[in-house]
Structure 1
Amino acid sequence: MSVGLDPAYLEPGGLLMWGLNQDDDFAFWNPVGDPDTWPIVIRRHLPQSGPYWVRYDLGIVEFLVRTFHGRLPVSPFIGDELWCNTEPTFERG
């Protein structure tokens, strides 16, 4: 896990958004290397201080499983809808 806005994220092709939540957190892939292992980048919205960027060197499946089971150092999202939620629901966008 690494924290902060990497300037490469701002380059064309630097991030590919795949999700967001009602708390204005955004989820991206960092499309480098094998698509099965693209790192996950979360832009957390902190109302008191603005965006907070966190990169997880995990593929999407491992990232979601660890989120649902609470097996990351902290919740990757502001809200707790997915954290330790072994029965999550999703809506098509």
Structure 2
Amino acid sequence: MTDVETLRQLMPPRAAPEAPVDWAAVEASWGTEFPSDYRAFMEVWGPGAIDGFFQIQAPEPKAEEPASPYGGMLLETLTAEDVWTSSGKEPALEGTRPRLISWGSDAAADIVCWDASDDDPSAWPVLVYNRGKGVWQRHDCGMVEFLVRVLRAEFPANPLSDLSLWGRHPARLLSESEEERLLEQGLDPWTE
């Protein structure tokens, strides 16, 4: 079973993604292809929030100015680059300068990125800035495997600052528009 198939069991898709991704434009602007598991994730789930805690960033073109002042792949990447220079790192990361691309963040202000230094996107490890500990950690897995391991509580310790997703399944991902639609109906999107 692939990691995407496993994640389907742990977080069943609720609806098809709302808009296709223009991968050619996104990848041209970043100067690299993106990992196949992230592309598959976007085809199955699309961007959104997992259980109101963890935000999966939409793939967006790299531009001079972020598309939104409230977050997104570019703004979170700029934040990650700033945090990298001013925070602690686990010993294996000391003295390194990875090429960061953020794909996730959470309500505890953790930032989840790839180290996109390798020419092969399938080799990009996940780097997590755990704000609670004030330290960057490396996880030698892809984006989807990372989510599977968090939802199954399979890491030696929770890589995030909060236990909201640790060992939690089934989990739910809602797109921003689905979350807004439920709120407009007077429903709490996360207790339905």
Number of residue-to-residue matches in the alignment? 85
The 3-state SS of whatever aligns with 1:83 is coil
TM-score normalized by the length of structure 2: 0.40
Which residues of 2 match residues 10-25 of structure 1 at below 5 A?
14-25=99-110
Q: State which of 98, 115, 131 in structure 2 corresponds to 1:30.
A: 115
In 1, the alpha carbon distance for the partners of 2:121 and 2:174 equals 23
Between Structure 1 and Structure 2, which shows a larger proportion of strand residues?
1
Task: Please name the residue that 2:131 is paired with.
Answer: 45
Task: Please name the residue that 2:154 is paired with.
Answer: 71
Measured on the aligned residues, the alpha-carbon RMSD in Å equals: 2.1
**Structure 2 gap segments, 5+ residues each:** 1-88, 177-192
In 1, the alpha carbon distance for the partners of 2:166 and 2:123 equals 22
**Structure 1 gap segments, 5+ residues each:** none
Per-residue Cα deviation, 1:3-42 (whole angstroms, up to 9, x for no partner): 2554313xxxx11011111111000001124212310000
In the alignment, is residue 3 of structure 1 matched against residue 90 of structure 2? yes
TM-score normalized by the length of structure 1: 0.77
State the identity as a percent: 28
Q: Which runs of 4+ in 1 moved over 3 A?
A: 4-7, 90-93
Q: Kindly indicate whether the alpha-carbon contact (under 8 Å) linking 1:68 and 1:85 is maintained by their aligned counterparts in 2.
A: yes
In 2, the alpha carbon distance for the partners of 1:92 and 1:26 equals 19
Between Structure 1 and Structure 2, which shows a larger proportion of helix residues?
2
